[in-house]
Structure 1
């Protein structure tokens, strides 16, 4: 059947959800050669993956992955981008997740090391002095102590070890960028997902309807950012109750001044970590600070903590002015230091 699937892809036909599931399952089990896998992933990437293909891959990987369900009933939030935008921005979603946790929102932050960016979420956590959880116990311990668990994707998705090698060989986004935010082993009820373009965002919204996530906001910003943009319009898709609502949002809608993309770029994880620290202290350059405010406000809206993104922006501004998120980060890194010393 694998050969039939490959022939179908080579003819530029699309796969059913079951075919996509079968291909992903066999890819993880080593039943697909590197050449076959690279060809399929490349063709799918350049023609654009379908909703059925994305759903099939997600369901297969979820089936093969290690679960990390929270030890007690609670609704969790995740903020994650698809990556692949090539903008070299600092780790905005990681900064947002720390702010949310400082506000008492339970966050399960799912991420990885950089593949197509200068700094992945796991990279910047390392630079900040925070260790990502490597198992169920550590994830729940982080969540209990700090209202946030940092989940390093490879530990919870051992079936993707071969896929990681293939992604390193392909210098462009693949279906694995699109599905990354949908693989959180803690199955969050609420999500803010950044997509690198409107087409991918719309597809993810359709996939989320199939997967049954309680409420999600999928955003794609100007200049291909997989974040809410501070430089211009952001296309948003709100998924709730099996319904998708789409709209355009601007920085002005949140009461924020437009910024410059150049103020958001970093060269490595250390620059990203330093910029995050400065923002959490209520300083940092205005563009970087405002894009974090905007995305954190969108996360509050996605998790139903506020009725509008503008209302959320006011809460985040106060949080940064009080430096409470920075103190929260200090508490996390202090505990990490104590663990290593002991």
Structure 2
């Protein structure tokens, strides 16, 4: 069946959900060679993956994953981007997740080290001195202590070990960028997902509708950011009650001034961590601070905490001005340091 699937791909045909799932399972088990896998992933990437193909891959990886035991905490939130936008921005979703948890929202932050970017979420956590959970016990302990669990994807998805080296060899986004936000082992009820373009965002919305989730907001900035944009319009897809609604949103609608993409760029995880700390401390350049405010407000909206994104902006502003998120970060890093010293 593998040879049949590969032939279909080479003919630029698309796969059914069961075929995509079968291919992913065999890729994980080593039945698919690196050359075959590279060819299939490259062709799928350049023609664009279908909803059925993404669903098939997600179901296969979920089946093979170390899913955490049922959490003691309900209605978890996740903020995660697909990556692959090539913008070299700081880790906005990580800053957002810390803000949300400082407000008492339970967050299961799922991430990985960088593949096509300057700094992945796991990279910046390391720079911040935060330990990523490697099992369900650590994850639930972090949630109980800090209202946030940091989940390093490779620990929970051994099936992806086979494809890790392949992704390093392919210097462009693949289907694994798209499915990353859909593999959180704690199965969050709410999600804010950033996509690298509007086509991917629309597909992810359909995938989430098929897979089922309480409420999710998929966003993509017009300039290709896998975040809500502070420099222009953001395309948004809200998934709720088995339906998808699409709309656009501007910084002005949130009461924020447009900023500069240049002010969001970093060279490495250390620069990203430094900028995050300054923002949580109520400082940082205006563009960087405002894009975090906008995305945190969108996360509050996605998790049904506020009626509108603009309402969320007021809450996040107060959080930063009072340094609530900054002191929450200090508490996390201090406690984590003590755990690993002892």
Task: State the TM bucket, normalised to the shorter chain.
Answer: over 0.9
Cα distance 1:70–1:322, how it changes in 2: closer, same or farther (>3 A)?
A: farther
Between the aligned partners of 1:322 and 1:8, the Cα distance in structure 2 is 57
Q: Which residue does 2:334 correspond to in 1?
A: 334
Between the aligned partners of 2:329 and 2:68, the Cα distance in structure 1 is 23
Out of 256-265 and 63-72, give the one that drifted further: 63-72
Q: Is 2:91 aligned against 1:84?
A: no
Count of residues in Structure 1 that have an aligned counterpart in Structure 2: 342
Aligned residues: CA RMSD: 0.6
Q: Which residue does 1:280 correspond to in 2?
A: 280
Between the aligned partners of 1:175 and 1:333, the Cα distance in structure 2 is 34
8 Å Cα contact 2:72-2:140 kept in structure 1: no
Superposition TM-score, scaled by structure 1 size: 0.99
Q: Which residue does 1:308 correspond to in 2?
A: 308
8 Å Cα contact 2:230-2:290 kept in structure 1: yes
Between the aligned partners of 2:73 and 2:14, the Cα distance in structure 1 is 39
Q: Is 2:98 aligned against 1:98?
A: yes
8 Å Cα contact 1:193-1:219 kept in structure 2: yes
Between the aligned partners of 1:98 and 1:207, the Cα distance in structure 2 is 27
Query: How far did 1:38 drift?
Result: 0.2
Alignment map for 1:225-236 (pairs within 5 Å): 225-236=225-236
Between the aligned partners of 2:108 and 2:241, the Cα distance in structure 1 is 22
8 Å Cα contact 1:259-1:287 kept in structure 2: yes
Q: Which residue does 2:156 correspond to in 1?
A: 156
Q: Deviations over 1:151-179 (max 9, x none)?
A: 00000000110111110010100000000
Q: Is 2:189 aligned against 1:189?
A: yes
Query: How far did 1:72 drift?
Result: 1.5
Q: Which residue does 1:24 correspond to in 2?
A: 24
Q: Which residue does 1:130 correspond to in 2?
A: 130
8 Å Cα contact 1:69-1:187 kept in structure 2: no
Between the aligned partners of 2:223 and 2:60, the Cα distance in structure 1 is 32
Query: How far did 1:53 drift?
Result: 0.2
- Structure 1 runs, 4 residues or longer, greater than 6 Å off: none
Q: Is 2:154 aligned against 1:142?
A: no
Q: Deviations over 1:16-39 (max 9, x none)?
A: 000000000000010000000000
SS of equivalent to 2:312: helix
Q: Which residue does 1:52 correspond to in 2?
A: 52
Between the aligned partners of 1:328 and 1:29, the Cα distance in structure 2 is 42
Superposition TM-score, scaled by structure 2 size: 0.99
Q: Which residue does 1:243 correspond to in 2?
A: 243
Q: Which residue does 1:203 correspond to in 2?
A: 203
SS of equivalent to 1:224: coil
Query: How far did 1:341 drift?
Result: 2.1
Query: How far did 1:69 drift?
Result: 3.7
SS of equivalent to 1:248: strand
SS of equivalent to 1:49: coil
Between the aligned partners of 2:9 and 2:128, the Cα distance in structure 1 is 43
Q: Is 2:33 aligned against 1:33?
A: yes
Between the aligned partners of 1:70 and 1:110, the Cα distance in structure 2 is 16
8 Å Cα contact 1:133-1:152 kept in structure 2: yes
Query: How far did 1:223 drift?
Result: 1.0
